[in-house]
Structure 1
Amino acid sequence: MTEKSTETKVEEAQAAALELAKYSDDRRSEALHAIADAIDESHDEILEANEVDVREGEKLLEAGEYSQALVDRLKLSPAKLESITEMVRSVAGQDDPLGRTRTARKLDDGLELYEQTVPIGVVGTIFESRPDALVQIAALSLKSGNAAILKGGSEASESNRVLYEIIREATADAPDGWAQLIEARADVDTILKMDDAIDLVMPRGSSQFVSYIQDNTSIPVLGHTEGVCHVYVDSEADLGMAEEIAYDAKVQYPAVCNAVETMLVHEDVAEEFLPAIAERYAEADVEVRGDEATRSIVDVGAATDEDWSTEYGDLILSVRVVDSLETALEHVTTYGSKHTESIVTDDADRAGTFMRSLDSASVFHNASTRFSDGYRFGLGAEVGISTGKIHARGPVGLEGLTTYQYYLQGDGHCVGTYAGADGTEYRHEDFDGSWTPGSLSE
Structure 2
Amino acid sequence: MSNNTDSIEQGVEDAQRAALKLATLSEAQRNEALHAIADAIDSHHEAILKENKKDVRHGEELLAKGEYSQALVDRLKLSESKLESISEMVRSVAQQEDPLEKTLTARHLDHGLDLYKVAVPIGVVGTVFESRPDALVQIAALSLKSGNSVILKGGSEAKHSNRVLYRLIIEATSDIPAGWAQHIEAREEVTALLAMDEKIDLLMPRGSSEFVQYIQDNTSIPVLGHTEGVCHVFVDKKADLQMASDVAFDAKVQYPAVCNAVETLLVHESVADAYLPDIVSRYEEAGVEVRGDEKTQSYVEVEDATEKDWATEYGDRIISVRVIDSLVDAIDHITTYSSKHTESIITEDSDRAEQFMRNLDSASVFHNASTRFSDGYRFGLGAEVGISTGKIHARGPVGLEGLTTYKYHLEGDGHIVASYAGEDAIPFQHEEFDGTWPPTADK
Give the TM-score taking structure 2 as reference length.
0.98
Say yes or no: does 1:79 pair with 2:81. Answer: yes
- Distance, in Å, in 1 between the alignment partners of 2:185 and 2:146 is 24
Q: Deviations over 1:46-95 (max 9, x none)?
A: 00000000000000000111010000000000000000000000000000
- Distance, in Å, in 1 between the alignment partners of 2:441 and 2:422 is 25
Structure 1 match to 2:262:
260
Structure 2 match to 1:125:
127
- Distance, in Å, in 1 between the alignment partners of 2:342 and 2:438 is 41
- Distance, in Å, in 2 between the alignment partners of 1:348 and 1:424 is 53
Structure 1 match to 2:35:
33
- Distance, in Å, in 2 between the alignment partners of 1:301 and 1:119 is 50
Say yes or no: does 1:16 pair with 2:22. Answer: no
Number of equivalenced pairs: 441
Letter in 2 for 1:278: V
Structure 2 match to 1:207:
209
Structure 1 match to 2:305:
303
Unaligned runs of 5+ in 1: none
Which secondary structure does the structure 2 equivalent of 1:53 belong to? helix
Q: Deviations over 1:385-433 (max 9, x none)?
A: 0000111000000000000000001111111111235342211111011
- Distance, in Å, in 2 between the alignment partners of 1:314 and 1:99 is 43
Letter in 1 for 2:264: T
Structure 2 match to 1:97:
99
1:370 to 354, 369, 372: 372
Which secondary structure does the structure 1 equivalent of 2:408 belong to? strand
C-alpha contact 1:329 1:354 (8 A) present in aligned 2: yes
- Once the two structures are TM-superposed, the CA of residue 436 in structure 1 deviates from its matched residue by 1.3
Change in Cα spacing, 1:423 to 1:211, as seen in structure 2 (3 Å) is closer
Q: Deviations over 1:312-367 (max 9, x none)?
A: 00000000001100111110000110000000000000000000000000000000
Which secondary structure does the structure 1 equivalent of 2:168 belong to? helix
Structure 2 match to 1:188:
190
Letter in 1 for 2:328: E
Structure 2 match to 1:326:
328
Which range moved further: 234-243 or 411-420?
411-420
Letter in 1 for 2:376: G
- Distance, in Å, in 2 between the alignment partners of 1:409 and 1:128 is 45
C-alpha contact 2:309 2:320 (8 A) present in aligned 1: yes
Q: Deviations over 1:274-318 (max 9, x none)?
A: 000111111100000000111111111000000000000000000
Structure 1 match to 2:314:
312
Which secondary structure does the structure 2 equivalent of 1:115 belong to? strand
Which secondary structure does the structure 1 equivalent of 2:307 belong to? coil
Q: Deviations over 1:121-155 (max 9, x none)?
A: 00000000000000000000000000000000000
C-alpha contact 1:110 1:440 (8 A) present in aligned 2: no
Which range moved further: 412-421 or 122-131?
412-421
Q: How does 1:229-268 map to 2 (within 5 A)?
A: 229-268=231-270
- Distance, in Å, in 1 between the alignment partners of 2:11 and 2:57 is 31
C-alpha contact 1:409 1:440 (8 A) present in aligned 2: no
Which secondary structure does the structure 2 equivalent of 1:222 belong to? coil
- Distance, in Å, in 2 between the alignment partners of 1:226 and 1:425 is 52
Which secondary structure does the structure 2 equivalent of 1:150 belong to? strand
- Distance, in Å, in 1 between the alignment partners of 2:172 and 2:228 is 33
C-alpha contact 1:119 1:145 (8 A) present in aligned 2: yes
C-alpha contact 2:56 2:76 (8 A) present in aligned 1: yes
Which range moved further: 197-206 or 416-425?
416-425
Q: How does 1:336-375 map to 2 (within 5 A)?
A: 336-375=338-377
2:385 to 383, 386, 389: 383
Identity of aligned residues (%): 72
2:65 to 59, 63, 86: 63
- Distance, in Å, in 2 between the alignment partners of 1:425 and 1:334 is 51
Which secondary structure does the structure 2 equivalent of 1:381 belong to? coil
- Distance, in Å, in 1 between the alignment partners of 2:326 and 2:252 is 23
- Distance, in Å, in 1 between the alignment partners of 2:342 and 2:442 is 44
Q: CA RMSD in A?
A: 1.1
Give the TM-score taking structure 1 as reference length.
0.98
- Distance, in Å, in 1 between the alignment partners of 2:405 and 2:328 is 38
Letter in 2 for 1:105: R
1:145 to 137, 144, 147: 147
Which secondary structure does the structure 1 equivalent of 2:320 belong to? strand
